[in-house]
Amino acid sequence: MPCIRFLCVSIVVAGLAACASSPMPPDPAVQTTVRTVPPGTPPAWGAAPPAPSPGMARNWAEYRLQAALRITQTSPGETYSGEVPEPLQSIPVLQIQLNRDGSIKHIEVLRVPTNKPETIDMAIRAIRRAAPFGSVAHLPQPWQFNETFLYDYDFKFQLRTIAEQDG
């Protein structure tokens, strides 16, 4: 009986070793998607590293993208990436008004979602956590930009600015 047990254990160990040393070939029926992630983007789990200060944006489109990346980087546990689900849970739209140095002057709510209005406070906290966003002195006034938060049913958000870049 001990020999049979030893033989069974040996077969299992040998099988596991074979699996570990020779990976399965990819299944051609399974489609894979490769998605590039901007350098410095933290993984979707764990604590976020301190967000770097944005570089000098040449225009408002670049500034808005840098701000969106910074908001995402400073809120790693509150974001999702990839395809935007349909339907969304909540879509607040905020206008961020800035001081010359990129600090927040005022946040105005442009769209209050009828479903789950508490996401407005969640979005405002994410924006404040990411500030300051870098100097806007070289950009035309008014020093402001809008951002749309796309909340899924887990109350995680993706910013429309980033979703537009991916899509």
pLDDT in tens, 108-135: 999 999 989 999 999 999 999 999 999 9
What's the pLDDT score for residue 88? 95
By C-alpha distance, which of 146, 160, 144 is closest to 79?
A: 160
The answer to whether the CB of 68 falls within 8 A of the CB of 75 is no
Would you call 134 helix, strand, or coil by DSSP?
A: coil
What's the pLDDT score for residue 167? 62
Query: What does the alpha-carbon distance between residue 13 and residue 6 come to, in Å, rounded to a whole number?
Result: 10
Q: Is the pLDDT of residue 13 over 90?
A: no
Residue 57's pLDDT band (cuts 50, 70, 90)? confident
Q: What's the topology of domain 56-167?
A: 3.30.1150
**Sequence spans of domains, the chain:** 56-167
Answering whether pTM is above 0.75, one says no
What's the pLDDT score for residue 131? 96
What value does the mean pLDDT of the chain take? 77
